[in-house]
A and B are shown apart, each in its own frame.
Chain A
Amino acid sequence: MTWVGTAIPRKEDGRLISGRGSYLDDLSRAGLLHCAVLRSPHAHARIVSVDTRAAEALPGVLAVLTGAEAARVSGPIRPLIPTPVPIRDYCLAVDRARFAGEPVVAVAAVDRATAEDAVERIAVEYEPLDAAVDPEAAIRPGAPLLYPELATNVLWHDTFTYGDVDGAFAKADGVLSERFEIQRYASTPLETFGVIAEHDPGTDAYTFWTNDQRPGLTLAILAESLHVPQSRLRLVVPDVGGAFGNKRRPAYLLIAALLARKARRPVKWLEDRLESLAALMHAANGVMDLELAYRADGTVLALRARDITDEGKNLVSPTQHNLIKLGNIANGYRIGAIQYEAYSVLTNKCPSGANRGIGKPFMCFAVERAMTLLARRLGLDSAEVRLRNYVRAEEMPYTTPPGARYDSGDYPATLRKALARFDYDGWRAEQRRAHAEGRLLGLGIATSVEPAGTNLASYELITGRRAASGSAEAAMVRVEPDGTVRAAIGDPGSGQGYETVIAQIVADELGVTPGDVSVERGFDSTTTPWLYLSGNYSNKFSVTDVGAVLGAARKVREKLLRIAAHRLEAAVEDLELSHGQARVRGAPDKALALRELARTAYADVLGLPGGEEPGLEARHAHQNPLAEPVGPGRRVRSQLVFSNAAHVCLVEVHPRTGFVKILKHVVVHDCGRELNPAIVEGMVHGSTVHGMGAALLEEFRYDARGQLLTATFMDYLKPTTLDVPDIEVDHLEHPSPFTPLGAKGVGEGGAIPGPAAVANAVEDALAHLGVVVRSLPITPERVWRWLPRRADG
């Protein structure tokens, strides 16, 4: 029996379905205090004075922390990517607030309501400053500066040229130039971000229970800012109610820790929804000027992009969107020459950061919109222009000009399968019939690559020096003294079914069932193996996590076999692990149960082979071999293995209201070997709906002064059951030769091409009106403005 590859139901579901999950807010501690945060009402303001006396006097208030105090008692937050001039950014704003919603003062009180009462009693005098809101305006001389010491809002600007771009443009039959924009949006996990922090004054040690999804990095930041060695920190991640990249904001862990230390009691802080939407994490908005040089037959010779990324007040991971766009700029096409000019720009908005696909949805949107426009210009079908440009299966592995390596897959076959599954030709005919009746149907195609695993060495392109690099994860597998199996991994997960898939992998290696394997929920830094690189990010499960689990399981497997061989007086090569036993192949009566082998390993240790260490536990860290330092010509494999997907979307646009209805959406996807097909399918559905939300509904809209206008779920609209169709999914399976089980990434595949597919479909419905979709979301109001005015409407 092989468990990997089967669609077994998830192990974690029993508790989650019955209300027995254990999410952060379900946890408590004796003497727990609750934190509330006073936030800047201004996008940009000098903090003149802070008076907390009335708050401190309120009964039930145990501690108040101002930015000035935070700067005295803690260190600045270490950035993932250093800024050109070091900026000391603390957990609270000190003398200047730089976005509406930035934390300014924090309070710990006996309950949340009292803490919020206290926040209302804090008097802060602000001197409002002009805000930099639009990223292009923020670049210009004279723009309001977030950090006058930088003398600019541009954190980084560079141009990368691969191949003879100018030559390709000079000899092209034509050039397509367009400007595309992406809005701010986020995947908005339903559980908000939070922490419980506890300080033990006796040992000056801290414990954090948090739904932070990147504990390795966070622990480093906490140690530095709290001025304690990492050996005195413990970080525990319980069940996580979705994360999608958003749940990384160490400032709040620091706030809670400083309050806990001050109040000498544990402190819980949990965002409310307004705080989460206004201040946690937005996918960066931005503007991209894209040019394609093409031959008359539709072959794309070169691509040139000028990309301006609006980071908001992002000092933790600026340039991340740019770098990932660079790694994905070819989007599966054989484009020989590429130029990418990038700006990473600070503005007075919520910090941008990781959100399902980071930068790739916009890169894909721009390229896939351009390919569709090229098809229209040349009178080709949208599918045809793509088929003429794809990297072909026989070219795999294929290295793109900037250095990304497409490891496996058949992109033309993926699209063809999607078209067939969709009945593309049939719907084209139906579209013509419908148009004759005045119905506006549109078909959209978008395809994409979906990388997995980040090679952090790629940030050398930005900083000029190597800091963190590669891609790796650590895991542990242990056969307990009673023969049952336990596993743990440094990636806490956030709803992707890791407990199940890890159990499947371990079960195959040890000859047991997934039911026999208990996988640790979440993460505990004192028991879970972990690295700085550990965490739930970058689609990395298939690239590193699987290897870590497999490596640990194989070490235990080999040890079990050695002990069994000794006990059975057989050769290791003649043994197999199956049905919970080690047994001699072909002689099933010569067998020892795992329980018996475990008894030897832990208790009857004189029964071990000579030199064998007691115990049955192994740790393994897997480093993906594809990650390499930056190479000549500034080429780098910034991400490691590539899945791919083709989306075909059918929409109907209401000719009076402008309302867009998605009628049908087919995804054909190739993520290599599917470790659990049911989990894969669910991720494709959910990811695709994230793309649909970005396409039609979701936008963090700021006014000209930097005030967020969409800070509740009544203004910031998420897709409901009525906004999206039953997404149809089919698969190809080209295993990656570069991952331990041939699996590739799957979490982002829908979110990357989803927005482009829907946009292409809407434009297709309105093409006869000369409409070009250049930005998202495509709200009814925008569509209505494109529609011809009627006398009665």
Chain B
Amino acid sequence: MTVTVRLTVNGRVIDRAVSARRSLADFLREDLGLTGTHVGCEHGVCGACTVLVDGRTTRSCLMLAAQCDAASVTTIEGLTPSDGLSALQTAFRECGALQCGFCTPGMIVTAHELLAENPTPTREEIREALSGNLCMCTGYVNIVTAVQRAAEAPSDK
């Protein structure tokens, strides 16, 4: 069974017929080629597949593409400037906030939402906000530091 959806992805309007059982993550990755969104567990725990749907962080592995009709979806590709890196991405790089990089897009999307709501979070608030995103490599220390540094960066204020 297929469903027709019309949605906005990273500012671009998309019209597609999708299988009713297609997850948003698979739709983004396989139908649209947006492979920056990663799939780590497919049961909504690890947070690697986090994207913004209408501005809110969403597990794209737990949402169906068919549910996204009329929605606006933003992925890591949409949060990356066409030239260079965002302040958050720059802070991740400078702080050594990634190793294998598989969790990083989801972390950046989640941190982006946090900083939009709370431009000056404490380390505890950052830890709370990122608690739904697993990282197996970094032990989180430098990720928390990177988000803090991005919050302090002049370009983000």
Contact = CB atoms under 8 A, between A and B. Distances in A.
Given A18-B85, A190-B103, 18 more contacts: A17-B93, A17-B98, A19-B80, A25-B38, A26-B29, A26-B35, A189-B102, A241-B38, A242-B99, A495-B99, A497-B99, A682-B99, A682-B142, A686-B136, A687-B139, A712-B43, A722-B128, A722-B131
Interface string B77-99: 10010000100010011101011
B120 to A, nearest CB: 18
A612 to B, nearest CB: 41
A179 interface: no
B89 A17 contact: yes
Given A242-B102, A688-B139, A720-B134, A191 B45 contact: no
Interface stretch (A5-13, A384-392, A617-625): A5-13
Given A17-B89, A191-B40, A722-B127, A689 B19 contact: no
B43 A188 contact: no
Interface string A1-37: 0000000011011101111111101100000000000
Interface string A621-644: 000000000000000000000000
Contacts of B141: 685, 726-727
A187 B45 CA distance: 16
A413 interface: no
B102 A10 contact: no
Contacts of B9: none
Contact of B136 (A25, A688, A718, A721): A718
A147 interface: no
B100 A494 contact: yes
Interface in A146-192: 187-192
Interface residues of A, number: 55
A539 to B, nearest CB: 15
A685 to B, nearest CB: 3
A264 interface: no
Contact of B98 (A13, A273, A720): A13
Nearest to A678: B96
Given A19-B80, A686-B138, A713-B46, A726 B144 contact: yes
A617 to B, nearest CB: 30
Interface residues of B, number: 54
B49 to A, nearest CB: 11
A23 B99 contact: no
Contacts of B153: none
Contact of A16 (B98, B123, B127, B138): B98
Nearest to A493: B100
A19 B98 contact: no
Contacts of B100: 16, 189-191, 239-242, 494-495
A190 B102 contact: yes
Contact of A17 (B21, B101, B138): B101
B35 A19 contact: yes
B151 interface: no
B24 interface: no
Interface of B is mostly: loop
Contact of B76 (A18, A23, A494, A495): A18
Interface string A293-313: 000000000000000000000
A85 interface: no
Given A495-B101, A682-B96, A727 B45 contact: no
B52 to A, nearest CB: 13
A272 interface: yes
Contacts of B77: 18-19
- Residue in B19, B130, B135 with the greatest tally of chain A CB atoms within 10 Å: B135
Contacts of A16: 98, 100-101, 104
Contacts of A495: 99-102, 137
A242 B104 CA distance: 12
Contact of B19 (A10, A113, A687, A726): A113
A686 B93 contact: no
Contacts of B35: 19, 22-23, 25-26
Interface in A694-726: 712-714, 718, 720-722, 724, 726
**A-B CB proximity, top 7 nearest:** A19-B36, A495-B100, A16-B101, A241-B102, A685-B139, A19-B76, A689-B139
Contacts of A518: none
A241 B103 CA distance: 8
Contacts of B85: 14, 17-18
Interface of A: 9-10, 12-14, 16-23, 25-26, 113, 187-192, 239-242, 244, 272-273, 494-497, 678-679, 681-683, 685-690, 712-714, 718, 720-722, 724, 726-727, 750
B140 A724 contact: yes
Given A14-B85, A718-B134, A727 B48 contact: no
A10 B100 CA distance: 11
B112 to A, nearest CB: 12
B67 to A, nearest CB: 17
A244 B94 CA distance: 24
B99 A683 contact: yes
Contacts of B46: 190, 273, 713
B69 interface: no
Contacts of A683: 99
B93 A10 contact: yes
Most chain B beta-carbon neighbours within 10 Å: one of A10, A25, A682, A689 = A682
Contacts of A687: 139
Contact of A25 (B39, B43, B93): B39
Nearest to A18: B80
B63 interface: no
Contacts of B34: 19
A590 to B, nearest CB: 39
A683 B100 CA distance: 11
A25 B42 CA distance: 14
A187 B134 CA distance: 12
A685 B138 contact: yes
Interface in B98-153: 98-105, 108, 123, 126-128, 130-144
B41 interface: yes
B96 A689 contact: no
Most buried by B among A19, A240, A242: A19
Contacts of B139: 682, 685-689, 724, 727, 750
Nearest to A714: B45
A191 B135 CA distance: 11
A240 B41 CA distance: 16
Nearest to B99: A495
A726 B123 contact: yes
Contact of A9 (B75, B93, B126): B93
Nearest to B140: A721
A649 to B, nearest CB: 14
B137 A686 contact: yes
A388 B116 CA distance: 55
Contacts of A192: 40
B37 interface: yes
Contacts of B140: 685, 689, 720-721, 724
